[in-house]
Structure 1
């Protein structure tokens, strides 16, 4: 019965997300439903002392990353830098190679720090135009954009500033550059296999006589794309380079600048000093500093352009950051409640029966990401409940924590992209397509991504590479 209560709450959350209901509303309600069915008297304490406590702790750590990332992405958009990057890549690769071109552009934006949601909006008009010119079926566009934004640049490439690569650092005391060799191997496999699959699908559709699509069947078609960009592509690329390089340099520099394992703050007006553990926040500080440098670079080269739209743009960025941060935070709180239930303890004990620590971690993280429909949410739930177990098992087996970080991060982006995933729903809405039309190819990428995690685990055990 205890397991059924936990499962019921998770299934209902999955259904609610699939039906388009707000996770911010449904997660606390369903968490408290599970507590009520277990012990009705515990609901008030569970809500205030557990659920809200975890929501607040998550936002305390990660909201600056959400905010700075959203602001950086919005400035890249309103400055015209994203348009310049897309136009330049199309010019180099050519319209005939639309699929790899769009994947490359999207990957460049997301690896540079632009959120996946901003990248979707920025790239779609150019993807539609390129696909139309090459007569490639439009229903391949979501999977093409997803390959660049929702797979290897989200959690596999070392140093990526996306939240799925940041969350494990706080639990394992690692950095966003954890296990760089394994991350690169996984990234190459995902990109190559994904492009091969999409190329095969394009050829199969061409053989069947399917083109871009009849005008009367197309929805949300963008206006014609301008041929000329107002910003030089090298200048447009500079903020992305600054974020990437800045993240790397700050990751290396912060531990040297900060002496000791803790930093204490004591001011005359404080009742007691505040202590911060450097290992838990150094990766966050590095990403936040890098994003600030990227924002400064945009303002340096496009201040006049940005100033005209900064008020509206910054409001949109703050709204997006609040929504994205709260969605993930309430899932983190939801996970904490589920992890405290007797039923989850039964599941946790069952997962311990998986003898291999990395396989255990991968299955746990990707399963919870699939259930919640969120890579960051599933990752947060899994690590909040079982990070200590993963660390203990990994230490006993001599597995570096960098490997635990990379496997957890990549596993979060495995089965997360099921139909109820928020990014998938947004991607389909922006492109004007339905699940029936385009989800098949997105799901193929989901399978490729999930398999890649276990390939990376195998490579580690066979070669010892990190």
Structure 2
């Protein structure tokens, strides 16, 4: 019965998300409904002591990354840099490779530090125009954007500044560059298989005589011809974010050491504030890198940015708050579900998996699926079981870098179920429904989940890290 309650809460949240309702509102409803059916006396204590505590704790750690990523992405957009990158990609790859062009642009933006949610808004107008010209069904746009923005550059490629690649650093003492060989192999696998799938879907539609279609919602206005900045200048801020993230990752531990404390300048004798630097160094590095990227955009596109700075940053802040609250609410939902007896049944079943890497991958991707959030599911899994994963890995002689990469990629496995915040946003922006386009998003989800077990196999076969 306890297991059925947990499954019912998950199905309920997926259904309301599928029907377009806000997970910020219904994640606590689903979580507390499960608590009510388990033990009614725990509803209020679970809400304040667990749901809100975990939700606020997530925001405390990661909201600055969401915020700076959104602001950076918005400045890249209003400066004309994103349009320049799209135009250059189309020119190089050709309009006949519209899908590949959109995937490449999404990958450049996300790997350069632009928030996944911002990429959706920035790329969609150009994707719609390219697909219209190439007469590719519009329903394939979400799957194409998902492949470019939600997969290999989010959690596989080493050095990614996305939050899914940052969270493991605080648990394993690693950096964003952990396991570069395995991450690259996993990223290439996802890209090749994902593009093969999308091209197959395009050919099937072409053979059936299906084109872009008519009567779509949220159709963007045709792009206006304008003078765009040169491609090298447009890419510069993305390169700056990547290189500065690498530099700050090395400089911060050297500057602060393994621990840093200070005494607040207030009345009385306050206790010192102590920071465990290895647990926050990667977060600080990404924040500093995004700030450096923002400064770079301001310097290189001052006139274009300042005219739209006020309204643009308002929109960015709103987008960051929505994305962070979606993820934090799902994080709170997952924390409550993980505290119920029904989840213990699931956890015990997963703990029976003998291999430490497979055990971690299954646990993380399962929680990511339950919460509908890669970062939320991974955060819950590592908070609860990181010590167990580390102990098993040490016993098997597995480096912490491998644990990092497996956890990061597993979080981006089954996270994109129908109630995922990024999926909901992507479909809303493109004016499509789950019924029209989720099939392709789910296919990409299967591919990126398989990729986790591919890199586990590669590690055991070769010992590469």
Check the 8 A contact 1:17/1:373 in 2, yes or no.
no
User: What residue is the counterpart of 1:220 in the other structure?
Assistant: 218
d(CA) in 1 for partners of 2:37, 2:433: 37
Q: How far apart are residue 134 of structure 1 and its match?
A: 2.1
User: What residue is the counterpart of 1:103 in the other structure?
Assistant: 103
Runs of 4+ in structure 1 off by over 4 angstroms are none
Q: How far apart are residue 294 of structure 1 and its match?
A: 0.3
Gaps of 5+ in 2: none
Whether 1:24 and 2:21 are equivalent positions in the alignment is: no
Q: Give the TM-score of the pair, scaled to structure 2.
A: 0.94
Check the 8 A contact 2:327/2:375 in 1, yes or no.
yes
User: What residue is the counterpart of 1:303 in the other structure?
Assistant: 302
Q: How far apart are residue 227 of structure 1 and its match?
A: 4.1
Q: How far apart are residue 288 of structure 1 and its match?
A: 0.2
User: What residue is the counterpart of 2:196 in the other structure?
Assistant: 196
Equivalent residue runs for 1:398-437 within 5 Å: 398-437=397-436
User: What residue is the counterpart of 1:52 in the other structure?
Assistant: 52
Check the 8 A contact 1:164/1:412 in 2, yes or no.
yes
Check the 8 A contact 2:241/2:290 in 1, yes or no.
yes
Q: How far apart are residue 17 of structure 1 and its match?
A: 2.5
Worse-superposed segment, 4-13 or 62-71 = 4-13
Q: How far apart are residue 19 of structure 1 and its match?
A: 2.9
User: What residue is the counterpart of 2:240 in the other structure?
Assistant: 242
Worse-superposed segment, 200-209 or 451-460 = 200-209
Whether 1:464 and 2:463 are equivalent positions in the alignment is: yes
Q: How far apart are residue 183 of structure 1 and its match?
A: 0.5
d(CA) in 2 for partners of 1:212, 1:62: 39
CA RMSD of superposed structures (Å): 1.8
d(CA) in 2 for partners of 1:436, 1:41: 39
Matched residue SS, 2:325? helix
316 and 278 in structure 1: CA distance in 2 versus 1, 3 angstrom threshold: same
Equivalent residue runs for 1:137-176 within 5 Å: 137-176=137-176
Gaps of 5+ in 1: none
d(CA) in 1 for partners of 2:407, 2:452: 9
Check the 8 A contact 1:13/1:27 in 2, yes or no.
yes
218 and 5 in structure 1: CA distance in 2 versus 1, 3 angstrom threshold: closer
d(CA) in 1 for partners of 2:9, 2:207: 46
Q: How far apart are residue 169 of structure 1 and its match?
A: 1.6
d(CA) in 2 for partners of 1:90, 1:397: 48
46 and 439 in structure 1: CA distance in 2 versus 1, 3 angstrom threshold: closer
Worse-superposed segment, 69-78 or 321-330 = 321-330
Q: How far apart are residue 204 of structure 1 and its match?
A: 2.4
322 and 432 in structure 1: CA distance in 2 versus 1, 3 angstrom threshold: closer
Q: How far apart are residue 228 of structure 1 and its match?
A: 4.1
d(CA) in 1 for partners of 2:329, 2:136: 40
Worse-superposed segment, 150-159 or 192-201 = 192-201
Matched residue SS, 1:211? coil
Matched residue SS, 1:276? strand
Check the 8 A contact 1:83/1:229 in 2, yes or no.
no
User: What residue is the counterpart of 1:326 in the other structure?
Assistant: 325
d(CA) in 1 for partners of 2:131, 2:441: 17
Equivalent residue runs for 1:238-387 within 5 Å: 238-259=236-257, 261-269=258-266, 271-387=270-386
User: What residue is the counterpart of 1:74 in the other structure?
Assistant: 74
d(CA) in 1 for partners of 2:72, 2:127: 22
Deviations 1:197-230 (A, max 9, x none): 22222222222222222x3x33332222234443
Q: How far apart are residue 264 of structure 1 and its match?
A: 0.5
Q: How far apart are residue 137 of structure 1 and its match?
A: 2.4
Q: Give the TM-score of the pair, scaled to structure 1.
A: 0.94
